Amino acid sequence: MLRSAGVQLLVVSFLHGCAALQPISPDAAAACQSPRTLFLVSHGWHTGIVVERRDLARLVPSLAGDIGEEGAVEIGWGEERFYQARQTSVGMALRAVLQPNPSVLQVVPLPRPARDYFQHSDVAAIEVEDEGYRALVAFVAESFTRTPAQDVIRLSPSLYGSGWFYRAEGSFHAFNTCNTWVARAIAKAGPQCN
C-alpha cells in the first residue's frame, strides 16, 4: 500500500510539470509596435497554446481541412499513449515519464474565444510582437511529423471538441514534457508586450 502511494506521488510530481503556466516576467516586457495575442491554457494535467487557425494552416496546409481558417485553435504536445488515452493508469503514467516515448499533438479548433470555451481551465493571454508570434507559430508547425508529401499524420479524435491527435516530433520523457514544449514555444515568441 505504501509502495503504491509512493509510486503515485512520483507520477504526480513528474506529470504536474505539464500543468503549471509559467508567467513571463514583467521586467522582460517591452512596448510592441505590432502586438499579437496568444493564449496559454492549463487544464490541470496539461498545458496548451491557442493561436489563430489561419496562421497555423498557412504553415501546415494539410491541416486546413481539419481545422479551417477562421477562429482560434488550441495545440498541446504530449506522450503518445498517455495523452490520447480516455482512461489512464499508473503504469501508463510511469511509462510516459520514465523512458523516452513518441509524442503527439492534440489540435482542437475552438468554436468560441478561448476564455469562453475553457471556462474551467486557467487561461492566460500573452501579447508579443508580430514577429515573435510568427516565430512561435512556426515552432508549433515544425512540431508536426510529416509524410514525404508534407502531410500531417492524423491518429485519433481529440479528447474534447472536434479536433484530432497527430504524430509529433520529439520524444516525451520526464525532462521533456508538455511544459518544456510550451516553454520553448514561448521563448521563440520573445518578450511580452507591456
Q: What pLDDT digit, counting tens, does each position of 155-194 carry?
A: 999 999 999 999 999 988 788 788 899 999 999 999 888 7
State pTM to two decimals: 0.82
68 with 161: CB under 8 angstroms?
no
Residue whose grid cell is 504524430 = 167
152 with 56: CB under 8 angstroms?
no
| Long-range pairs of 112-119 with CB within 8 A, sequence gap ≥ 24 | 113/72, 114/39, 114/41, 114/50, 114/72, 114/74, 115/39, 118/41, 118/43, 118/74
Residue 31, phi then psi, degrees to nearest 5: -75, 130
79 with 88: CB under 8 angstroms?
no
Q: What pLDDT digit, counting tens, does each position of 98-154 carry?
A: 678 889 999 999 999 999 999 999 999 999 999 999 999 999 999 999 999 999 999
Amino acid in position 83: Y
